[in-house]
Structure 1
Amino acid sequence: MNYRHSFHAGNSADVVKHSLLIALVRALQQKPGALTLIDAHAGCGLYDLGGEQAQRTGEAAYGVLRAFADANPLLDDYRAAVRAVNVGTEPHLYPGSPQVMAQLLRPQDVLILNEKHPEDAHALRGAMRGTPAAVHERDAYELWLAMLPTRTARGVVVVDPPYEQTDERARITATLAAAHRKWAHGVTVVWYPLKDRLTHQQWKGQLRRLGIPKFLNVEHWLYDADQPGIYNGAGLFIINPPYAFTQALPPLLDALRAALAPDGHRGDISARWLDAQRAD
């Protein structure tokens, strides 16, 4: 599945991912110690919702625009992150994870970004000008391991590939296993699209067999029944989420489900510990 982000910026997956990322980082920042935030697949950093690629799919209408039309205050932090890169009340630009994390930085925190695609890396450097972010242009999986353990005592790694390669899930699984051996207490966030349920269930089984404790799985299914051959939603694997994050998660997830449900569908969003799930 090809998921080049410029075509999908501001869609429902972005709303969920960035809402949860904000909540996760803020939960970690309840302690004063420095954080290192690493984005292994950073993309361009900033996206034009009126651009040709975003307009071709029109997915922002069912994502960020729905979130802006919703009145639930639990989505205020997300909306504020989008407004921070825009002028006026309507979003015309969309912040990728690098911009979202840069807005959350405290003076003691560190932001490390990586994007292998040369054109996207160039755009990323422009988008992050004026921030303290360090930008790398390396293989994401090599950088992921090379940066561990982080120089600060605590940190977050975000893994958000386009799933263009057939071995993407295998590389994530192998690198996650190696990363956990080097950095067992670190927080890792892995995003993925939901399309083929069988492939996804097999992958969850492989991840479960890694034996990593505190392995949370958040899944957002847009439709009340699978829609064959199309994008059905997205999920996040979150390793070592802090207690403050998991305690605040249920009402936030329900707010996201309600805001993003397609017409005629209720949708479903859930958070379950992977080691507690039935092996499929």
Structure 2
Amino acid sequence: MNYRHSFHAGNSADVVKHSLLIALVRALQHKQSALTLIDTHAGCGLYDLAGEEAGRTGEAAQGVLRAFADPNPLLGEYRAAVEAVNDGDTGGAAPRLYPGSPRILAQLLRPQDFLILNEKHPQDVDTLRSAMRGTSAAVHARDAYEFWLAMLPTRSPRGVVVVDPPYEQTDERARITATLAAAHRKWAHGVTVIWYPLKDRATQSRWKQQLRRLGIPKFLCVEHWLYDSDQPGSYNGAGLFIVNPPYAFSQALPPLLEALRAALAPEGHRGEITADWLND
């Protein structure tokens, strides 16, 4: 599956991913000590929803535009993050620009925090550097899995690694599993967020079984299934694996997940969004 960011900017997966990233970082910032935020597959950083690639799929209509049409205050921080790259206020109009995880994480930085980004694609990393101009982010162009391990342990005692690959390679899940095992050995207390697309429940169940064998104790699995049953050959939703989520985040999660489910449910479907501990 090819999930290059620019074709899918602002879709339902982005709404869930970015809403949860904001909530996660905010929960970690309850403590004043510094955070190092690392994005291994950073993409372009900023996307034009009216551009050729995003316009070709039109997926923002079922994602960010639904979130903007929903008045639920639990989605307020997410909407504010999108508005911030649209001159601070969309004035009720649909946003034209969409922030990728790098721009959202940059908005969350406190003076004591660090942001380190990586994008291997040569065209995208040039776009990323331009998009992050004026921020304190460091930008690398390395193999994502080598970079992930090289950055551990993080420069501050606390940190978050975001792993958001395009799933272009058939061995992507195997590389994630192997690298996560090595990363956990180097940095057992760190927070890791892994995004993935959902194609069918059987494939996802097999991967979760492989991840359970790693024996990572605090391993949360959030899954957003758009449709009430699998749609063969279609994109069915997306999920996040979160290693070592803070207590404040996991406790506040249920109402946020329900707000996201309600805002993003396709017409004729209720949809489902769940959060379960992988090793319970």
TM bucket by the smaller chain? over 0.9
Q: Which of 173, 177, 194 matches 1:190? A: 194
Q: Which amino acid aligns with 1:26?
A: R
Q: Which amino acid aligns with 1:204?
A: K
Q: Which moved more, 1:14-23 or 1:221-230?
A: 221-230
Per-residue Cα deviation, 1:69-112 (whole angstroms, up to 9, x for no partner): 00100000000000000033321000000000000000000000
Instruction: Compute the displacement of 1:196 (Å).
Output: 2.9
Instruction: Compute the displacement of 1:198 (Å).
Output: 2.0
Is the 2:200–2:230 contact (alpha carbons within 8 Å) kept by the matching residues of 1? no
Instruction: Compute the displacement of 1:200 (Å).
Output: 1.5
Q: Which of 126, 130, 146 matches 2:150? A: 146
Aligned residue in 2 for 1:163: 167
Q: Which amino acid aligns with 2:40?
A: A
Aligned residue in 2 for 1:258: 262
Aligned residue in 2 for 1:24: 24
Q: Using the alignment, how far apart are the partners of 1:181 and 1:209 within structure 2?
A: 14
Aligned residue in 2 for 1:51: 51
Q: Which runs of 5 or more residues in structure 1 are unaligned?
A: none
Aligned residue in 1 for 2:214: 210
Q: Using the alignment, how far apart are the partners of 2:84 and 2:155 within structure 1?
A: 29
Q: Which of 123, 129, 132 matches 1:128? A: 132
Is the 2:38–2:115 contact (alpha carbons within 8 Å) kept by the matching residues of 1? yes
Aligned residue in 2 for 1:84: 84
**1:2-21 to 2 correspondence within 5 Å?**
2-21=2-21
Instruction: Compute the displacement of 1:268 (Å).
Output: 0.3
SS at match of 1:108: coil
Does 1:95 pair with 2:99? yes
Does 1:111 pair with 2:115? yes
Q: Using the alignment, how far apart are the partners of 1:239 and 1:86 within structure 2?
A: 32
Per-residue Cα deviation, 1:94-153 (whole angstroms, up to 9, x for no partner): 000000000000000000000000000000000000000000000000000000001101
Instruction: Compute the displacement of 1:170 (Å).
Output: 0.3
What is the identity percentage for the equivalent residue pairs of Structure 1 and Structure 2? 82
Q: Which of 234, 238, 242 matches 2:238? A: 234
Aligned residue in 2 for 1:61: 61
Is the 2:28–2:246 contact (alpha carbons within 8 Å) kept by the matching residues of 1? yes
Could you list the structure 1 runs, at least 4 aligned residues long, displaced by more than 2 angstroms after superposition: 87-90
Instruction: Compute the displacement of 1:201 (Å).
Output: 1.1
Q: Which runs of 5 or more residues in structure 2 are unaligned?
A: none
Q: Using the alignment, how far apart are the partners of 2:277 and 2:61 within structure 1?
A: 32
Q: Which amino acid aligns with 1:13?
A: A
Q: Which amino acid aligns with 2:37?
A: L
Superposed CA RMSD in Å reads: 0.6
Q: How many residues align?
A: 276
SS at match of 2:221: strand
Q: Using the alignment, how far apart are the partners of 1:46 and 1:128 within structure 2?
A: 9
